[in-house]
Structures are given as C-alpha cells and as structure tokens.
C-alpha cells in the first residue's frame, strides 16, 4: 500500500469523517436508538441486520443507487481479489436479501439500525461513517403502506420531542408527467430533476438559472416553473396539477396515488401535510411516492425521508414482475445533534449506585452489598483503586452517579447503610432492602 506516511499524532486520530463516541455520547445515542426501536416495534416491524460490506457489483446494478452515487462508495479488494464495498445505505441490502428469500411472508415489515459509509464532503452534521434507522414494507402497492410508514416515522420524531413537524409529499410518476407536460427530452430529465431539487437552497431564481445552465430554456423552463410554483393545500394543489398536465398517463397515475395516500393519512389522523411538486429526492431507485418529514423551524429542516421503490427487488431477483416496497430513513445523526443542543448529554454513566467502602476491613461486606444491588437489577459500581472516602465521593460525583451507599463498620454492625442522594445531598440510614425498594 502507498500513501502519505502519518505522524504519530495523526496515526492515533480516527480516520477523517469518523468519530469516537465516549460513554456520555453513547448513552444519549443508545437512548435515542431505544426510542426508535420501541416505536418501530409498536407498529409491528421486526429487527433485521445485513453485512457491513457487500459485493461491489450490487451497487452498480441498474435499479441500485445510480451512477451519480457510486463515486461515494468505499471500495476495496479482499485477499481473494473480490471487489467489495462498505454498505452505502440499508435499502439496497434489504432488496438483496428479499430477492434471495422469496419465501418471506408478505408484507415483510422490517427495521434496521446500523452504520453506513459514504465518501462525501465533510461538514457540520455530515460524516463519512454514520448511523441510519430505516423502516420498510415489502410486498404491497397499497398506499396504506406508505401512510403507515409516514405515520410511524412521525411517531418517532414526536416521541423524541419534535412536535412541530409536517410531511412533504410528492410522486415520481407525477414528476415524470410534469417533464412530459413541459416537453423536457428524456436525456434532460435528470438534469431538470437536479435543478428543481435545489429550490429550498437557491430559491426560484436560482432554479431558473440552474435550468438554463443545463440547457432547459424558453417554454420548457416556463412550464416547469409554473408547476413547481403551485402553493395550495394538498387537494387544491393536486387539482391544479391535474389541470396543467391534462390526460398524461404517468402524471395522472401519480396524482391518483397521491390522492389515495392523502385519504389514508387523513383516516389515520395525519393532517399536517404539504404536497410539494418541487421535491425530487436524489436517489434514482424511487418509483412512486416520495416524502420527507420537516420541522417548521427552518433551522432544523428535514428529519426523515424516503419513498417507494417498486422495481429494485424484482430486478435483483431477475423477475419480470415487480416486488413493491416502500420505506423511510430517519436523519438520526441530525436528530442526535439537535437533541444535544437542546438537552445536552444528560448522563455521563449508566451507573445508578456507587458503593463506598470506608476501609479495607469491610471489603468483603461491601462486596456482598454490591452483589445484592446488582442482583436486584440496579446498575452498581464499587471502588477498584483503594481510594479514600473523599476521592470515592468525588469520582461518583464526576460521573453524575445519582446515589452513593456507604459501607463502614457501624453500617455492617447495624445492617443499616448510609444512602446519599447526590443531587439533593439528603442522607438516610436505612436497610439494604429499603435501599433497593427506594431506587430499583
């Protein structure tokens, strides 16, 4: 292997775009993952796991991530000269697994919480190794599945404390109909999509310039801008789009699917919906509905995104028939950063009780107390360094451990131990059974 030789300091740093997570950070992350997992399971999704790396060719297949994303793959060869790539997302591996396991009952509902890797520009909140939390339904085209996926993801962000959110929805079939209505040639469709997708960042004037730079001018440009400029409530926006695209087959199918989705969301009780005809979402494998969960606070932005990908699994299986699927991925790294800004990392340790021994004469008695607390299901630490009482208290305080139990000769003799609440400073001399009852 060749490359720049690292200094001792550089050698000990995590690779660019990756991070070390110390306990304080991991406790917060695990709390978030536990909440996500709990909500996913409440909706009937089962856990699922795929390898950290896949065959490189999986990501180059026609219905996979698309040529524009392949440059972001972390590729390597193993000792048998096999070309492999680290997992880019969790959707493509899911499609692979379902394609080779046709016996799976349908609908197949799964969630996965794992790390993925992408070689892309590093900036605040964006890394080259990061976590994704995905939930997917395979085997049905019913728009009720799309509505459930959206509802489930909304329930997650609400449970994490993001109450002021809404859903942006669009449809790839409707987008295709828009392109045909505007007279965009097939070889310019992806260019048009990429220009439109920048609306939130550059505004309508920026999109206009972007379209022109990509060779989309005159009436083509005017028609596209007219459609993406539609700003009404969901049903009125679809009615306006229907008037513009007329009898276009793909566009009409997209409108029908969105109307069906809106009816299902309304039945579920989700009314905070925006039909956004400028939303494209970058990945090539989306085929129908696409959606994002947004905060009304523009500083927060998108919290989750996904859509329907009906062609990928069938293509992987070599089948002429579609195997429909729909899913969403939470922007979990963004969510965790926002929670840290809002709440801080509240816990430095998972330990609930620190047991202090006054001296070595009560070491055995102290260890008996520790064992009984642990057997009662209480996370417990004991001093392992022979420190004095003051130093043990300082250590417990530095980790934010909420309770301390002091074991000395008098405590052993009376079988009543000093329990100290580290937050309030309150102290009580009570039995071990009372301690367990109070803090278990």
341-369 average pLDDT score = 92
Query: How far apart (Å, rounded) are the C-alpha atoms in residues 403 and 418?
Result: 10
Q: Is residue 224 part of a domain?
A: yes
| CATH of residue 333 | 3.30.930.10
Sheet order of strands, 403-407 included = 380-382, 353-357, 403-407, 416-421, 427-431
Q: Exposed, middle or buried by CB within 10 Å (0-12, 13-18, 19+), for 335?
A: buried
369 shares its domain with 336: no
Identify the domain containing residue 360 by its residue range.
353-439
**Mean pLDDT estimate for the chain:** 92
370 shares its domain with 311: no
pLDDT at site 62 = 73
pLDDT at site 345 = 65
pLDDT at site 88 = 92
336 shares its domain with 381: no
Domain end call among 319, 343, 367:
343
Q: Is residue 6 part of a domain?
A: no
Q: Is residue 8 part of a domain?
A: no
Q: Is the pLDDT of residue 417 over 70?
A: yes
Per-residue pLDDT band at 110 (split at 50, 70, 90): very high
76 shares its domain with 44: yes
235 shares its domain with 369: no
Query: How far apart (Å, rounded) are the C-alpha atoms in residues 264 and 401?
Result: 47
Q: Is residue 338 part of a domain?
A: yes
Q: Is residue 258 part of a domain?
A: yes
Domain end call among 343, 368, 403:
343
Sign of CA dihedral 159, 161, 164, 170: negative
User: Which residue did the predictor score with more confidence, 347 or 357?
Assistant: 357
CB crowding 142-177: b at 16 or more within 10 Å, else e: ebbbbbbbbbbbbebbeebebeebebbbbbbbbbbb
Query: Whole-structure pTM over 0.85, yes or no?
Result: yes
pLDDT at site 200 = 79
User: Which residue did the predictor score with more confidence, 244 or 161?
Assistant: 161
Q: Could you read off the pLDDT of 163-221 as tens digits, one per residue?
A: 889 999 999 999 999 899 889 998 888 888 888 888 878 888 898 998 999 999 999 99
Q: Is residue 367 part of a domain?
A: yes
Query: How far apart (Å, rounded) are the C-alpha atoms in residues 412 and 386?
Result: 19
Query: How far apart (Å, rounded) are the C-alpha atoms in residues 135 and 332?
Result: 13
Place of tokens 């070390």: 20
335 shares its domain with 381: no
105 shares its domain with 81: yes
270 shares its domain with 415: no
pLDDT at site 6 = 86
Q: Is the pLDDT of residue 374 over 60?
A: yes
Q: Is residue 197 part of a domain?
A: yes
101-117 average pLDDT score = 96
Split into its structural domains, the chain has a count of 2
| CATH of residue 404 | 3.40.50.800
pLDDT at site 328 = 97
390 shares its domain with 339: no
- 3-state SS of the chain? CCCCCCCHHHHCCCCCCCCCCCHHHHHHHHHHHHHHHHHHHHCCCEECCCCCEEEHHHHHCCCCCCHHHHCCCCEEECCCCCEEEECCCCHHHHHHHHHCCCCCCCCEEEEEEEEEECCCCCECCECCEEEEEEEEEECCCCHHHHHHHHHHHHHHHHHCCCCCEEEEEEEHHHHHHHHHHHCCCHHHHHHHHHHHCCHHHHHHHHHHHHHHHCCCCHHHHHHHHHHHCCCCCHHHHHHHHHHHHCCCHHHHHHHHHHHHHHHHHHHHCCCCEEECCCCCCCCCCCCCEEEEEEECCCCCCEEEEEEECCCHHHHHHCCCCCCCEEEEEECHHHHHHHHHHHHCCCCCCCCCEEEEECCHHHHHHHHHHHHHHHHCCCCEEECCCCCCHHHHHHHHHHCCCCEEEEECHHHHHHCEEEEEECCCCCEEEEEHHHHHHHHC
pLDDT at site 303 = 94
Q: Is residue 2 part of a domain?
A: no
Per-residue pLDDT band at 299 (split at 50, 70, 90): confident
241 shares its domain with 335: yes
261 shares its domain with 179: yes
Contact in structure between 27 and 347 (CB atoms under 8 Å): yes
pLDDT at site 300 = 84
Contact in structure between 294 and 164 (CB atoms under 8 Å): no
327 shares its domain with 390: no
Domain end call among 309, 324, 343:
343
Q: Could you read off the pLDDT of 27-42 as tens digits, one per residue?
A: 999 999 999 999 999 9
Q: Is the pLDDT of residue 245 over 60?
A: yes
367-395 average pLDDT score = 97
Q: Is the pLDDT of residue 24 over 70?
A: yes
């Amino acid at each position: 292997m060749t490359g720049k030789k690292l200094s001792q300091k550089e050698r000990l740093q995590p690779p660019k775009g990756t991070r070390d997570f110390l306990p304080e950070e991991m406790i917060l992350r695990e709390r978030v993952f536990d909440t996500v997992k709990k909500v996913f399971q409440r909706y009937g999704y089962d856990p699922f796991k795929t390898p950290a790396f896949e065959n490189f060719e999986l990501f180059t297949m026609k219905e996979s991530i698309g040529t524009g994303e392949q440059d972001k793959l972390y590729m390597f060869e193993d000792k048998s000269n096999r070309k492999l790539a680290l997992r880019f997302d969790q959707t493509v591996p899911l499609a692979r697994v379902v394609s080779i396991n046709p016996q799976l009952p349908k609908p197949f509902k799964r969630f996965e919480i794992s790390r993925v890797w992408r070689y892309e520009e590093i900036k605040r909140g964006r890394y080259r190794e990061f976590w994704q939390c995905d939930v997917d339904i395979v085997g049905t085209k019913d728009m009720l599945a799309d509505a459930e996926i959206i509802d489930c993801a909304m329930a997650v962000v609400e449970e994490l404390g993001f109450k002021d959110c809404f859903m942006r929805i669009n449809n790839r079939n409707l987008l295709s109909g828009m392109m045909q209505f505007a007279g965009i040639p097939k070889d310019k469709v992806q260019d048009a999509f990429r220009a439109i997708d920048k609306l939130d960042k550059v505004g309508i004037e920026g999109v206009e310039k972007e379209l022109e730079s990509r060779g989309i001018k005159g009436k083509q440009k005017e028609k596209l801008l007219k459609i993406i400029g539609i700003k009404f409530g969901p049903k009125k926006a679809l009615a306006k789009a229907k008037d513009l695209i007329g009898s276009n087959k793909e566009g009409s199918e997209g409108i029908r699917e969105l109307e069906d989705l809106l009816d299902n969301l309304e039945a579920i009780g989700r009314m905070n919906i925006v039909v956004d005809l400028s939303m494209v979402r970058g990945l090539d494998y989306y085929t129908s509905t696409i959606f994002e969960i947004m905060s009304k606070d523009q500083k927060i932005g998108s919290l989750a995104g996904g859509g329907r990908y009906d062609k990928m699994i069938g293509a992987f299986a070599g089948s002429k028939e579609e195997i429909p699927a729909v899913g969403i991925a939470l922007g979990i790294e963004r969510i965790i950063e926002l929670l840290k800004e809002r709440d801080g990392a509240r816990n430095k340790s998972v330990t609930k009780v620190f047991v202090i021994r006054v001296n070595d004469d009560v070491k055995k008695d102290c260890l008996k107390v520790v064992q009984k607390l642990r057997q009662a299901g209480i996370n417990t630490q004991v001093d392992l360094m022979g420190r004095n009482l003051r130093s043990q208290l300082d250590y417990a305080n530095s980790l934010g451990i909420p309770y301390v139990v002091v074991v000395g000769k008098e405590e052993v003799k009376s079988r009543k131990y000093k329990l100290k609440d580290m937050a309030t400073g309150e102290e009580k001399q009570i039995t071990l059974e009372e301690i367990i009852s109070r803090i278990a």
